[in-house]
Amino acid sequence: MKGRNCGLILSCLFVSVFLVTGLCVNAEAKPILVGAPASYAAQPWSWSGMKGQQLATKQINDAGGVNVGGVKRPFKPELLDTRAEEAGVPVSEALLGIEKLILEKKVDVLCGGPTMSEASMAVLDLVAKYNIIHLISSGTWTPGWQKKVGSNLEKYRTSFKITSSVIYVIPEGADLLNSIKARRGYDTVYVLTQDNVISRKAAEIFSKLASKKGYKIVGKDVVPQGTTDYSPQLFQAKRKKAKILLVWTNDPTAVILMKQFADLKIPSLMVGFNPAATEEEIWNQVAATEEEIWNQVDGKCEYSIQPLGAASNSSSKIPGAAEFQAAYKKFCGKAPFGAASMSYIGMYVLKDAIERAGSLDTDALVDALVKTDYMSINGRVRFNPRNHWAKYSDDPNEGLVSNWFQWIKGKRITVWPRSVADGDIQLPPWMN
């Protein structure tokens, strides 16, 4: 039944893309086919990116399309569920799907995922083989991507990435901790992570940076995937008098952690990555960064602080961000989260490059993308010429801005970096 439901939904999505992308353009103009691969059925992150991409496509097509050498042409995304983040699905399946997009669908460019880093790393060689532009706008937070591209830029010249990376998000989180320490005097951290590679590694780097900033690591715990009771670790953090509970998880059962943290009134600030989601059926899941989770967990996510990937998912400080948030909510019934705003601007970055290149020729597009200087709702988009990863900065006038938010009274309030913050960090009342 689950597979049948997912198939039905994906079929509906293909239809919706067709309906969305055929508006207000010359009916005789040949569409620009954009291959859009991501692990859509595995988790809400990619779903949010798909909707952001569709919204941008609709807006661009409604405004007349893309000027390709004097001819206005519409965008038409070709969705591909790579299934890369589903349990037991090999990376090779994602590669086969993307190869079909290139050879059978004859897409002009690729924009989206794969969301999973391992798949994105593997796709680099496939993209190089077929000499096609690939702009990653969803997922792929591994620093290995830009390292591989930079190691052989001539080979991987057609690959570009605007999404963030752990090498930026984690130091940014450490700066956030430093600001809490400076303002509140808190200097004790308890580290709680789950037993998977990305969570352990991220927590390890985070812990080292926190130590360098004067924090004392008073305890560490690694819990197995699927843990349903976090009370032993929470009580241990309380006994150790940790003022910061540093969490890095990659498991939907971590929603239990949020509930127990509030029920037990642990006197700490919970800071870190927690993609907790509710509901068993993946298409009904609600991620911990979605506004809907507030009601799902009876508000027990309040005061937790999490990264949101891109500033305009919650911040109103960058020009155009508030308008994007309103348009996104009207378009799909949800506030933006996950890959929403990055996938949205990905289509505008492509439009900008195609129009400056004046064609869809790969060499011309590579040259245009390298020279990109585009002000987006997430900040200024410029690519590092050494590895084709977009530059990030705390200043939206200098680069793309990631952000950290805190749950307050059912709303996601951006609290870091200060350049895009809409409010200050608040303490749980049981800490006062």
Q: Where are the domains of the chain?
A: 2-164+318-381, 167-308+402-431
Distances from the Cα of 65 to the Cαs of 36, 56, 176, 177, 354, in angstroms?
A: 18, 11, 41, 44, 11
> For position 225, what pLDDT does the model report?
76
> For position 47, what pLDDT does the model report?
86
> For position 16, what pLDDT does the model report?
41
Strands 66-68 and 71-73, by their bridges, are: antiparallel
Distances from the Cα of 311 to the Cαs of 47, 174, 236, in angstroms?
A: 18, 17, 34
| Ranges in the chain, pLDDT < 50 | 1-25, 278-286
pTM of the model: 0.85
> For position 154, what pLDDT does the model report?
97
CATH label, 167-308+402-431, candidates 3.90.79.10, 3.40.50.2300, 1.20.90.10, 3.30.499.10? 3.40.50.2300
Confirm whether 2-164+318-381 and 167-308+402-431 share one CATH topology: yes
> For position 121, what pLDDT does the model report?
94
Label residue 88 left, alpha or beta by phi (over 0 means left) and psi (-120 to 50 means alpha).
Answer: left
> For position 396, what pLDDT does the model report?
96
Three-state DSSP state, 101: helix
Chain segment 105-128, per-residue pLDDT in tens: 999 999 999 988 889 999 999 999
Name the architecture of domain 2-164+318-381: 3-Layer(aba) Sandwich (3.40)
Residue with tokens 């409010």: 423
> For position 287, what pLDDT does the model report?
54
Chain segment 311-321, per-residue pLDDT in tens: 999 999 999 99
